[in-house]
Chains A and B, each alone.
Chain A
Amino acid sequence: MNETLHLLGTVTTQNRWAGLVIWYLFLGGLGAALVAISIFSHRYYKASARLTLWGVISGEVGLAVGSLLLLFHLLDPSHAWRVLLPWNVFLNPTAWITWGTQFLIWAMVFGLLYIWPILREPKAGGREHRVAEICRRFAGPLAWLTIVMSIAVAVYTGLLLRSFPAVALWHNPVIPMLFTVSALSTGLAYLLLVQYAVLREHGPLARAYERFDILLIVIEMILIGFLLYGVLPGSGSGRASAELLMGNMGWVVGFLVLGLLVPLLLEIKGSLRAWNSPAPVMLAAVLVLIGGYLLRHYFLTAGVYYFPWTNAHHLGVLGSDVVTHVLH
């Protein structure tokens, strides 16, 4: 009689981090990218004051709304004050949420200080005027502090998922890069929408944004290809995630085709020979934004855990409805 321990297995997804967290990851990435790109463009590419204000304020609203959603997701939001304290990075430095919260707070604070002199023209002599003067004098360091903090927020949204070791789709070095590139791409798409639909600024900056977005979408495609065919086949969890993704029309048609390929083709055509109307650029931008959301939606819902037991008559503490296989 064979006396080795017989372990069975279950492969399952999770719905613990779903709806609100997906919106947080999307809005956090989009908001951070908007703040970073807007301030960089204002400082080095003479972006108009109106575009800068639109970008930074929309970005800050995105970051604030995203954080609020996350707060609603907590079991006890009244305990969240601990992570807001700046010295929490010394108390709990191993947790990415610790760092992400601080990056997010300081990106918002420095970003607001940077746009303060653009936003308001206070009367000379008052206290507000002095604050504006200081912000103007230190605009360079403020811009870079904001840009570094914002990019860190975008990177952190990926690092957060990377810290969960059981799920191959998340626990890999590609995911922080992918989420950062996707965040920047959605940020550019939003700014293109503002330029074309609201401010009607069809200048060289808009064309530069389009070209940069082409580059980002190509990098995003390479990263996704590498993840799906280079990283995921290495484990049971990864293979199950790849199957879930490639077997899902929402992922294949919604994200890969409509969220990446179509906007890429529209933007390449627009940069080779300009469109006669702004509609195709706006369509591409809307598709990129929807794609950015879908990427996060499918990445969270297709993360697969492998448990060395069967879930007979029990969906497990994770509470997921999707139990894909029972392995023997």
Chain B
Amino acid sequence: MAHYAMVINVDTCVGCNACMAACSQANQTPVWDSSKFRTYVHDEEFKKDGRWVRQFFPRLCNQCDNPPCVTVCPTGATWKEPSGPVRVNPDVCMGCEACAMACPYDARYPIDREDVEQAKAYYGEEFLKRTHPAVDKCDFCWDRLQQGLEPACVETCVAHSRIFGDLDKPDDLVTKIVASGKAKTLLPELGTGPNVYYVDKLPEGLANE
């Protein structure tokens, strides 16, 4: 059984936002609303050692091992796959948004009736993947995983900032980075067990892989 995970190398992200574009096209997200993305790249500035530093910080659903969004769902519309991704079935979801309230990472957003209508015009009615209003989130591009492809954001990343892999495979770069102990997760104190890891730089010896 696979255990999918992602490592984000903050050092190499150039903030081109191609991941956001690729994701929105692959998953038909409501691009007309700037607050509704499955993945988002934050443009950050901070002072470090007396100098101003600009940093791009990509984020997405952490596909938690202990997802609080799943336990609060009263309809069973969201669940965790044995291989890791947390998914939503829009045909079951009633849109109470309890999952979005429970998520500590702001990874879930509502697709309302107007979004579904607009998607018909934008993505074409006959190609529409979603016909009901529902809560939406990143699922590591589940459909692409089934075809043996990587998530769209990973495939399109020009800077190799997003690295995808299977933690059950010892030879995967992701597994080696996580095993090095250098990679950090977000808000680990909440006990959610995130599967998206962040590094400032790739550990020595792994940079050329």
Contacts and interface: CB of A to CB of B under 8 A. Distances in A.
A98 interface: yes
Interface stretch (A2-10, A60-68, A174-182, A263-271): A2-10
B165 interface: no
B187 A308 contact: yes
B61 to A, nearest CB: 11
Contacts of A306: 187
Given A92-B74, A98-B74, A308-B187, A6 B46 contact: yes
Q: How large is the interface on B (under 10, 10 to 19, 20 to 34, 35 or more residues)?
A: 35 or more
B98 interface: yes
Nearest to B53: A6
Contacts of A305: 104, 106
A4 B73 CA distance: 36
Contact of B92 (A75, A82, A98, A164): A82
A199 to B, nearest CB: 38
A97 B74 contact: yes
B45 A312 contact: yes
B97 interface: yes
A319 B97 CA distance: 14
Interface string B37-50: 10010111111110
B71 interface: yes
A160 B111 contact: no
A265 to B, nearest CB: 36
A6 B42 contact: no
Interface residues of A, number: 50
Contacts of B102: 163-166
Interface string A285-328: 00000000000000000000111111111111111000000001
Interface in A65-108: 70, 73-77, 79-80, 82-83, 88, 91-92, 94-98, 101
Given A83-B74, A92-B76, A316-B106, 14 more contacts: A7-B184, A14-B101, A76-B95, A79-B77, A95-B72, A96-B72, A97-B96, A101-B74, A165-B104, A309-B57, A309-B59, A310-B42, A314-B42, A317-B107
A16 interface: yes
Contact of A17 (B75, B101, B112, B135): B101
Contacts of B98: 95, 97, 160, 163-164
A317 B104 contact: no
A77 B106 contact: no
